């Protein structure tokens, strides 16, 4: 526990000459906290009898605080007797500070992205809502086509924003689920509406089938669930050539687990790539070394949300044989509700809303 010798840098750090230092203990030189850390790492080195690496902030006599990367190793003499511990410290303060600045910049950037994405949502909801209303009216076939494109483009934008917002939350582990009662048929019809429009544009056929024993209502975070399904459907469309097929199958796995599987007849995924596609920012390249269009975050985020929902997202595929993505979620079913008859003519609704476009959508 006593110093046997040191170099010049150590003399500067401790403010003592080597002669003064010899035979002192860390407690004689450093603050209590610093000394304790030094003694702890000494002990780790002795007990494990191997090299130990640690980072430690130490104050110079002139008060300058520096961060050291410290490596301690047991030192043996010629007849193989452990003689002492040898410690090396490298001043990494500058690197540390750069790292902090870079990390902060990164955080600021994601926060900004999330804020902007959030702000964009209101006008976007106006476009989604109003184009859907217009689609129910009388239109020429060409107008209908354009309007469908407007509608799914806006829905897609919304989901891309959701992915971006989640990116920031996943980094800081703040992702939360907001479960509420959702009608099962509504979930299926929403994703089918979107999938049909998407597929139709690329001359792909979309098919949906579901078990008969699905409950009427489940407790689920509907926005998150549709975010995952949207990611899967848009990938399926993206990676399936015209003339192909996409199948959505919804099934009850057990009392409170449900599976949504999306199968396509597209380009498929090589076995060696299958684990990688769930990593953040991963995009496989085609045979010409060109990356697919997209952000490479959809599957990574979807898998994390699926796990948060008490389930998982997995893939089965062969190259050129299409791909099947299976989403399992855990969701409680809502006890059967008594049906109430509502006289819609007598219904009065009070809407409190400060955003003009939302009022227009709600009224329509
Ligand atoms: P992106 O937004 O780039 O599509 P994803 O995380 O959704 O990012 O997907 C990552 C990669 O996984 C894609 O670039 C693609 O290589 C592969 N992939 C995803 N879905 C499919 C699919 N249905 N068929 C073939 N490859 C797919």
Contacts of 265 (CB under 8 A, 6+ apart): 240, 244, 245, 246, 322
pLDDT at 298 > cutoff 70: yes
Report whether residue 298 contacts ligand 1, using a CB cutoff of 6 Å: yes
Task: Please report the atom of ligand 1 found closest to the CA of residue 284.
Answer: 16
The total number of residues written for the chain in this structure: 364
Q: Give dist(CA 140, CA 236) in Å, integer.
A: 29
Strand, helix or coil for residue 330: strand
Q: What is the pLDDT of residues 91-100, one digit of tens each?
A: 999 999 999 8
Q: What is the dihedral of CA 239, 241, 242, 248, to 10 degrees?
A: -50
Give how far Cα 343 sits from Cα of 116, 279, 346, 362, Å. Answer: 42, 52, 6, 19
Q: What is the mean pLDDT of residues 40-66?
A: 92
Structure tokens that stand for 251 in this block: 């099934």
pLDDT at 262 > cutoff 90: yes
Q: Give dist(CA 38, CA 24) in Å, integer.
A: 13
Against a cut of 0.95, is the pTM above it? no
Please give the pLDDT value at position 338. Answer: 61
Cα of 303 vs centre of ligand 1, distance in Å, is 13
Phi, psi of 27 (to 5 degrees): -65, -30
Structure tokens that stand for 20 in this block: 């003064």
Q: How confident is the model at residue 25 (pLDDT cuts 50, 70, 90)?
A: very high
Q: Report the run of H or E that residue 66 belongs to, with start and end.
A: strand 65-76
- The partner residues of 285 in beta bridges, in order of sequence, read 291
Cα of 267 vs centre of ligand 1, distance in Å, is 11
Q: How confident is the model at residue 23 (pLDDT cuts 50, 70, 90)?
A: very high
Please report the DSSP string for 137-153 in residue order: S---HHHHHHHHHHHHH
Cα of 232 vs centre of ligand 1, distance in Å, is 8
Q: What is the dihedral of CA 195, 197, 203, 207, to 10 degrees?
A: 40
Task: Please report the atom of ligand 1 found closest to the CA of residue 266.
Answer: 24
As a whole-number percent, the residues of the chain with pLDDT over 70 amount to 93
Residue whose CA lies nearest to ligand 1 atom number 19: 235
Q: Give dist(CA 12, CA 207) in Å, integer.
A: 75
- The partner residues of 71 in beta bridges, in order of sequence, read 53, 88
Cα of 296 vs centre of ligand 1, distance in Å, is 7
Cα of 51 vs centre of ligand 1, distance in Å, is 44
Please give the pLDDT value at position 344. Answer: 67
List of E strands, 166-296: 180-183, 205-210, 217-220, 245-254, 257-264
Please give the pLDDT value at position 92. Answer: 94
Report whether residue 266 contacts ligand 1, using a CB cutoff of 6 Å: yes
Structure tokens that stand for 218 in this block: 């489940």
Cα of 180 vs centre of ligand 1, distance in Å, is 30
Pick from 231, 246, 299, 322 the residue to mutate for probing ligand 1's pocket: most ligand atoms within 8 Å of its CB: 299
Contacts of 60 (CB under 8 A, 6+ apart): 12, 13, 15, 66
Burial class from Cβ neighbours inside 10 Å (0-12, 13-18, 19+) for residue 341 reads exposed
What is the pLDDT of the chain when averaged over all its residues? Answer: 88
Q: Give dist(CA 269, CA 256) in Å, integer.
A: 31
Structure tokens that stand for 118 in this block: 């959030």
């Amino acid at each position: 526990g006593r110093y046997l010798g040191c170099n010049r840098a150590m003399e500067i750090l401790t403010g003592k000459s080597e002669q003064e230092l010899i035979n002192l203990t860390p407690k004689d030189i450093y603050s209590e906290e610093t000394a304790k850390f030094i003694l702890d790492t000494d002990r780790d080195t002795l007990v494990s009898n191997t090299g130990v690496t640690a980072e430690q902030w130490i104050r110079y006599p002139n008060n300058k605080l520096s961060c050291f990367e410290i490596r301690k190793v047991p030192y043996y003499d010629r007849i193989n007797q452990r003689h002492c511990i040898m410690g090396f410290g490298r001043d990494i303060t500058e690197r540390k500070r750069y790292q902090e600045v870079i990390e902060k910049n990164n955080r600021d950037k994601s926060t900004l992205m999330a804020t902007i994405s959030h702000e964009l949502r209101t006008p976007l909801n106006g476009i989604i809502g109003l184009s859907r209303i217009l689609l129910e009216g009388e239109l020429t076939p060409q107008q209908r086509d354009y309007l469908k494109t407007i509608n799914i483009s806006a829905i897609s934008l919304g989901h891309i924003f959701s992915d971006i917002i989640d990116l920031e939350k996943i980094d800081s582990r703040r992702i939360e689920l907001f479960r509420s009662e959702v009608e099962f048929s509504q979930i299926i019809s929403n994703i089918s509406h979107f999938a049909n429009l998407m597929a139709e544009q690329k001359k792909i056929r979309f098919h949906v089938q579901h078990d008969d024993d699905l409950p009427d209502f489940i407790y689920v975070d509907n926005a998150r669930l549709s975010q995952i399904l949207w990611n899967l459907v848009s990938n399926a469309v993206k990676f399936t050539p015209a003339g192909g097929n996409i199948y959505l199958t919804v099934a009850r796995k057990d009392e409170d687990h449900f599976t949504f599987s999306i199968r396509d007849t597209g380009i498929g995924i090589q076995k060696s790539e299958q684990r990688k596609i769930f990593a953040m920012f991963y995009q496989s390249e085609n045979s010409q070394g060109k990356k697919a269009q997209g952000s490479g975050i959809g599957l990574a985020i979807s898998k994390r949300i699926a796990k948060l929902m008490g389930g998982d997202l997995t893939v089965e595929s062969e190259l050129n044989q299409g791909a099947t993505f299976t989403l399992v979620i855990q969701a409680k079913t809502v006890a059967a509700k008594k049906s109430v008859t509502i006289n819609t003519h007598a219904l009065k609704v009070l809407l409190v809303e400060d955003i003009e476009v939302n009022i227009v959508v709600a009224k329509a």
